[in-house]
Amino acid sequence: MARDRVVEGDLRGEDARRILQANTTICMTAECLFMYEPLNFRRRTRWDGIMPHRTVLLELFRASGGYLLHQSSLERQVGQFLATVKMAYTDKEAAVIAYRLRVMMSHLRDSKMAGRKPPERYDQLRAILDAIRED
C-alpha cells in the first residue's frame, strides 16, 4: 500500500526571522542551536528532546498553518537569520539546524497521526500536537 505524500508548507521570510529571533539566544553558536537526537525520521518522538524547543516548534507549526516545512526553504531562512544576527555559521550548519527542526516537526506530526500523546510530565507539548494539521 502506497503511503500518501505529506503536505508541506513554507513560511514567509519575516515570520521565519521573527520566530527564530524570539527563540534564539544570540550568544549561542550555530552548531548548538536546536539540538535534538537522533536525527532519524523513522524514530519515535523523544519528548524530553522536544521539550526545550516547544516554543519555536509551536510557532513554526502555527505560522505554517499546521504543516511541516520544506527543508530547502527553511535552510535558506535559517541562513538568512544567522547572517542577520551576525552569528558565524557555515552553509552546512544552517542545513543541519533546519534539518533538526524538520525532524522534530516530523516526529511530532507522526505522533499526532498515530494518536500518541506526550507523557504527563510533558503535557505542555499537547498544544503543539493541537496545532498540527492531519491532512
pLDDT band at residue 3 using 50, 70 and 90 as cut-offs: low
Q: Does residue 85 lie within any of the structural domains?
A: yes
34-53: average pLDDT: 87
**Contact predicate 108/128, CB 8 Å:** yes
Q: Does residue 100 lie within any of the structural domains?
A: yes
Q: Does residue 1 lie within any of the structural domains?
A: no
The parent domain of residue 133 ranges over 7-18+53-135
Peptide bond into 119 cis (omega under 30): no
Q: Give the Å distances, CA to CA, from 2 to 85, 112, 114.
A: 43, 20, 17
Alpha carbons 9 and 69: distance in angstroms, whole number: 5
44-59: average pLDDT: 94
Q: Does residue 2 lie within any of the structural domains?
A: no
Q: Does residue 28 lie within any of the structural domains?
A: no
Residue-level length of the chain: 135
Q: Does residue 33 lie within any of the structural domains?
A: no
22: pLDDT strictly greater than 90 = no
Q: Does residue 43 lie within any of the structural domains?
A: no
Q: Does residue 111 lie within any of the structural domains?
A: yes
45: pLDDT strictly greater than 70 = yes
Alpha carbons 133 and 135: distance in angstroms, whole number: 6
Q: How many domains does the chain have?
A: 1
Closest among 33, 35, 54, 38 to 108, alpha carbons compared: 54
- Percentage of the chain beyond pLDDT 90 is 59
Q: For position 1, what pLDDT does the model report? A: 43
